[in-house]
Amino acid sequence: MNARRRVDSRMWWLLVRTILAWIGYLFLLLPSLVIIPISFGGGKELTFPPTSFSLDLFRQFFNDPGWWGTAVQSTIVAVLTTLIALLVGLPATYAFARAKFRGSKLLELLAMSPMLVPVIVLGLGMYIHLAALQMVNTTFGVVMAHSVIVIPFMIVSVTSGLRHIDPSLETVALLMGASRFRIYMEVVLPQIRTSVIVGALFAFLISFDEIVVAYFITGPESTTLPVKMYSAIRWEISPVLAAVSTLLTILSLVVCLAIMALQPQESQST
């Protein structure tokens, strides 16, 4: 009798837990599950479920320079941001990992803090800063702001790679007369390749999708795709938005799968 009741309550508990978890999964996927079918529906009205299949909305996107032009601008910004994040992040993480000096903890915290500061505050600050320099509405301004935003992700990713490699190889290379630069390029970098790629993917996607700061500091000549999308959602709700959303979701999916595929290899190697 007692045992029966226990089995019952266990079944109930399992049921409640599982249902709640699946509500969670469904809720997480809901936006993508709705937006992707709609984008293939075509037509003037967005309906779910779509009644017909067409690539009309995608055609509209690629025929309108106002849309694909901003996608090109976003790509340029994201590529430049990734390059700067690599150029700044790689040397810095190496210094953090291989040197003990006063204030290194503080400096690391400083380098991580762009992740913790509310983006809106950074956006306002960049706006006032660039306004004083008369550089609002420039690609340079957006790239610099995005570099600051992505640097913590680059540092986290590369640092975890450096933690897994053996410094004595570098010592050996040094004893054999290799220069510091050569050691980094030929001994260190090949070993941390995957973490560097993961860091670069993080940087690219975060910059490509960033909206708040970009909204503050871009103008007609430097509008990125998210900024264009934001004003389109606010003012017109054009059906093209569904196609843009699907394209962005595919980009996220590719990057997400790439990162997940790269990361396990790394943990195996430890």
Site for another protein, residues 218 to 237, rule: CB under 8 A: 226, 229-230, 233-234, 237
Short-list 226, 222, 164, 151, CA closest to 192: 164
Question: Is residue 111 involved in binding another protein (CB under 8 A)?
Answer: yes
For residue 28, the 8-state DSSP code is H
DSSP code string of 135-152:
-TT-HHHHHHHHHHHHHH
Nearest to 199 by CA among 256, 153, 261: 153
Q: CA 61 to CA 261: how far, in whole Å?
A: 31
User: Which segments of 119-221 does DSSP mark as H helices, in order?
Assistant: 119-133, 139-163, 168-175, 180-183, 189-191, 193-209, 212-217
Check binding of 98 to another protein (CB under 8 A). Answer: yes
How far apart are CB 96 and another protein at their closest, in Å?
8
Closest approach, Cβ 83 to another protein, in A, equals 12
CB closer to another protein, 21 vs 55? 21
Q: Which of 4-12, 51-59, 60-68, 156-164 is the region at the interface with another protein (rule: CB under 8 A)?
A: 4-12
- Which is nearer to another protein, 67 or 216 (by Cβ)? 216
Of 29-88, binders to another protein (CB under 8 A) are: 29-32, 34-35, 38, 46, 48, 84, 87-88
Residues 155-194 that bind another protein (CB under 8 A): 167-168, 170-171, 174, 180
**Both tokens assigned to 7:** 């089995």
Give the binding range for another protein (CB under 8 A) out of 56-64, 75-83, 125-133, 156-164: 125-133
